[in-house]
A and B are shown apart, each in its own frame.
Chain A
Amino acid sequence: MSKQVKMGMLGLALVIPSFLVLFVIVVIPIVISLLESFKDKNGRYSFVNYEHLFTDKLMRSNIIFTLEVTIVSVVLVLIISYALAVYMRFNNGVAVRWIRRTYMIPIFIPSVIATYGLIQLLGNHGWLARILLQAFSVESMPRIIFDKKGIIIAQLWFNIPFTTMLLGSALSAVPNSVIESAKDVGAGFLRIFFKLILPLTFKTLLVAVTFVFMGVIGSFTAPFLIGPNAPQMLGVSMEQVFGVFQDKQMAAAIAFFTFLLCSFMGYFYIQNMIKEERSRSA
């Protein structure tokens, strides 16, 4: 046996266990729920669930609402995390030290507790409202809890730490020498940022987008507890359709649609990875 074939077999042997796990816990359930989602009430195959999903006023507003929350959250998380990571990478001092020490804290707080904390903080008569009333006699605050804004704030809380960590590690991989040499030839900060730093961290940025997107679109706890009654995010709606209306097929259709949205994201991501790989091996 040639060495190459041996290596190939080793490679396959290493991949197969994880592939099998993947197959059993991901691929099979997806296929089952896909089949389930095409069944109508009498067990016959039809498009009735998807028709309902895209024509029902309530469902359509749920989808739009979910996408709105997701996109706004992704954009905000990326802007804030990237700014934070860049700041931590290129500055030193007390502020940076404190940010570095504290920015991971949200990861260690269970999401239910964090969500209730947000309700206490931002609710109608919450701490923030009381502080504003005492200090600035601001009488009325916009509604944050039981509203889209509340969900987005919660998503920021959940997603910023990890994204910052991810981007931070990518930024630390940008060699100082590159930046210094660019500075030597007279490039300004903006120019360095757009010509060097951004392209060098673009791949990680894409990873971060994928992760935040999937995390937000599939989130449940925060939207369930602080979201409005209608429209709902898809996760909440799925739970309601499955658990309360007991319409398994409809829930499967929502689940599959959510999966499609996620795999759409994943597709671009993988596509980009392959391109990268090709250009490297070429």
Chain B
Amino acid sequence: MLRNKARVLFMIALSLTFGVLSACGGGASSGTSQGSGSDAKPASDNKSAPATASAKPAEFSFYFTGSQNVKDLWDTLIPMFEKATPDVKVKPVYVPSGTGAQPTYDRILAAKQAGKGSGDIDLYEDGVNYVTRGQKDDLWDTLGTDKIPNLAKVDQKIMKDVANLAVPYRSSAVILAYNGDKVKDAPTTLDELYDWIRKHPGKFAYNDPSTGGSGDSFVTTAIYKFLPEDAIHNSDPAIEKQWDQGFALLKDLGKYVYGKGIYPKKNQGTLDLLASGEVDMIPAWSDMVLDQINKGQLPKSTKMAQLKPGFNGGPTYLMVPKLSANKDAVAKFLNFILTPEAQSVIVTKMSGFPGIQLANMPQEVQDKFKDAAAGFRTFNIGDLGKDISKRWQSEVAAQ
């Protein structure tokens, strides 16, 4: 009897463990496959900053998330900063994208609610969604030029958008990437683009908006085309009623895009199609396109164009938790990040847009971004993006 029971238990254990294992496998690979492709690298962060017991250099911990290119960037910038500012040490903590930006934010929030300062997180990097969310929860410190003089070089409109709570230290924009050999006159406005898509069935692709920002941008731009211009800074759910026309347009375009309605997964999915010549035009992140042309993954004939009005692009922000104990050290770091030298690293290392205004950058950098910089728009629609993906999934993908 006992043997029998044990055996049954064992079998249950076996089958359940298998089920769980396969589920875990799925979860793990979902982590690896998010972001832009090969960013599955465990956070090996403590190497560069041993926790010094002596209190001489001020040390602060910096949590950031993103693909491998973001980690590479900070691996270059932080040693540069520490060399220039010996009295401050940075302890970077890399959270690979897809594995937990949310928990980092939750940690800051929980620490505040528990009255425990900022949870040892002194600087945090993320997109605009978390800036606005933190604004609601009153988490971020207001930043000013008194402590960070270089903030003056940043576009003040962007600073106003985030109520001076965050530093837009770099940005990238979604642009139109196309095969210059096949496409002679690229569209310059949204209407021309939609026309082009209709006239060249199967030659345009955008990725599933829930899996990558470039497809998301295409979708959002199409929806907000029919709305007043200032709607892109509105995160009030009441506006959702006005989306219908945009979704109708996307549904209609579905017949003309690649494979009559195939939306590859992830930003890289469409880039792969462009590289293999299956499509001639895609929306894509400028930094990814530039980077892949440099590495030869995309043919040299690949060209970029920004539309008017542009797709959305957006800065990535650095935020300082209000309750951080190391604000002065962080301010020094932020000031360094906004110097033209550090900004040049962003340009060379990850082909990102500088966070400071282009006029402050060397001439060659200004030339490089001539095509892509003109007219990208910053969308700040908060949680509405979630509803867009949801509705896109049920109306456009499943038509």
Chain A residues within 8 Å of B, Cβ to Cβ: 8, 11-12, 14-15, 18-19, 22, 25-26, 56-58, 61, 111-112, 123-125, 143, 146, 210-211, 214-215, 218-221, 224-225, 228-231, 235, 239-240, 243-246, 259, 262, 265-266, 269-270, 273-274, 277, 281
Task: Provide the B8-19 mask, 1 if CB < 8 A to any CB of A, else 0.
Answer: 111111011111
A243-B210 Cα distance, complex, nearest whole Å: 9
A64-B390 Cα distance, complex, nearest whole Å: 20
User: Given A229-B263, A230-B393, A245-B390, A220 and B25 touching (CB < 8 A)?
Assistant: yes
B22 touches A215 (CB 8 A): yes
**CB proximity of B385 to chain A, nearest CB, Å:** 9
Instruction: Tell me whether B26 is interfacial, beta carbon within 8 Å.
Output: yes
A26 touches B16 (CB 8 A): yes
A218 touches B8 (CB 8 A): no
**CB proximity of B306 to chain A, nearest CB, Å:** 26
| Chain B residues, CB < 8 A from A239 | 26, 30
Per the CB 8 Å criterion, the residue count for chain B at the interface is 46
B22 touches A273 (CB 8 A): no
User: Given A58-B394, A245-B389, A246-B386, A214 and B26 touching (CB < 8 A)?
Assistant: no
10 tightest CB-CB pairs across the interface, nearest first? A220-B26, A230-B398, A229-B397, A230-B397, A244-B210, A218-B22, A266-B15, A221-B29, A146-B262, A58-B394
B22 touches A124 (CB 8 A): no
| Chain A residues, CB < 8 A from B9 | 15, 19
A228-B98 Cα distance, complex, nearest whole Å: 21
| Chain A residues, CB < 8 A from B393 | 58, 229-230, 240
B398 touches A58 (CB 8 A): yes
A146-B27 Cα distance, complex, nearest whole Å: 21
CB-based nearest A residue for B394: A58
A266 is contacted by which of B7, B12, B27, B386 (Cβ under 8 Å)? Answer: B12
Instruction: Tell me whether B287 is interfacial, beta carbon within 8 Å.
Output: no
B18 touches A211 (CB 8 A): yes
A245-B6 Cα distance, complex, nearest whole Å: 42
A229 touches B262 (CB 8 A): yes
**CB proximity of B101 to chain A, nearest CB, Å:** 11
B265 touches A8 (CB 8 A): no
A112-B265 Cα distance, complex, nearest whole Å: 13
B20 touches A26 (CB 8 A): yes
B386 touches A244 (CB 8 A): yes
B264 touches A146 (CB 8 A): yes
Instruction: Tell me whether B117 is interfacial, beta carbon within 8 Å.
Output: no
12 A–B contacts, CB within 8 A, in A order: A11-B2, A15-B10, A22-B13, A22-B16, A57-B394, A125-B277, A218-B26, A220-B26, A220-B30, A245-B389, A266-B16, A269-B15
Most buried by B among A215, A230, A265, A281: A230
A127-B241 Cα distance, complex, nearest whole Å: 46
B17 touches A22 (CB 8 A): yes
| Chain B residues, CB < 8 A from A262 | 15, 19
A219 touches B398 (CB 8 A): no
A219-B30 Cα distance, complex, nearest whole Å: 11
Instruction: Tell me whether B125 is interfacial, beta carbon within 8 Å.
Output: no
B398 touches A61 (CB 8 A): yes
Within 349-386 of B, Cβ neighbours of A (below 8 Å) are at: 386
B398 touches A231 (CB 8 A): yes
User: Given A229-B262, A229-B397, A230-B397, A25 and B277 touching (CB < 8 A)?
Assistant: no
Instruction: Tell me whether B259 is interfacial, beta carbon within 8 Å.
Output: yes
CB-based nearest A residue for B216: A244
| Chain B residues, CB < 8 A from A124 | 259, 278
